[in-house]
Structure 1
């Protein structure tokens, strides 16, 4: 079975981000640090043992995966070229999630309201710079 999952390389704060996402969205979180993994031959860098090598959050309707980025790389997370689209069937639940992201330091990018195409839609940047789009179809 094929499955598409989002993968985000964070600039050293993947554990904080994934723990935050679990607190907002719920789900099952797996965090693996480099210290948890066997020594790997041919690594292009010496990993910090406390850095997140892989994180996976299985939440209702999808999976978010990611890690801490490689040292020396410039990881700009905030931008509007992408977003994580979360489609729900309950306007109140979507608003609750948006409110939780904003209360934790996020900011509204587009108000959550009735869109011209008939859905209720809005966008928020979370405190890590990730843009979340929320959509409740035809309500």
Structure 2
């Protein structure tokens, strides 16, 4: 079953705004976004006066080379949940990967747009670990393991 991928797919009330946030705060790259077509809007019974360019049918972005998909919630306002966590894990001995992870952590913390739950530092296990929560309630875990 090595041909199976598990891909994060997030839902936002305003994905356009969220994409800007992840570009600014997390340094997201390769941002792609598609608005719904008129046919898709009709199929979803959206109001005729809605500006389709403001809506996102599907989008994606990369952080540390990992692709994350997202879209607007067309079923009502999404509920923020502490049950959503995304973890970046690197080998503690891979200096390039560790440096990239450290740089990302410092970038998001310096932005003051996240809440630090656990400072990214070496723990008694010898691993380096940290957690932050972004403005959308998503927990991001930074994990460097031996």
How does the TM-score come out when normalised to structure 1? 0.78
1:45 is aligned to 45
Matched residues in 1 for 2:114 and 2:4: separation? 32
2:61 is aligned to 57
Matched residues in 1 for 2:118 and 2:79: separation? 21
Q: Verify the 8 A CA contact 1:121 1:134 in the aligned structure 2.
A: yes
1:21 is aligned to 22
Q: Which of residues 105, 115, 119 in structure 2 aligns to 1:98?
A: 105
Matched residues in 1 for 2:27 and 2:145: separation? 19
Secondary structure of the 2:70 match is strand
Please give the per-residue CA displacement for 1:43-79, whole angstroms capped at 9, x wherever unaligned: 34306412111111144442100111115x2412341
Q: When the two structures are aligned, how many residues end up with a matched partner?
A: 133
Is residue 111 of structure 1 aligned with residue 115 of structure 2? no
Gap regions ≥5 residues in structure 1 = none
How does the TM-score come out when normalised to structure 2? 0.75
Is residue 75 of structure 1 aligned with residue 78 of structure 2? yes
Q: How far did 1:39 drift?
A: 1.0
Matched residues in 1 for 2:44 and 2:38: separation? 16
Matched residues in 1 for 2:43 and 2:105: separation? 39
Gap regions ≥5 residues in structure 2 = none
Matched residues in 2 for 1:101 and 1:38: separation? 37
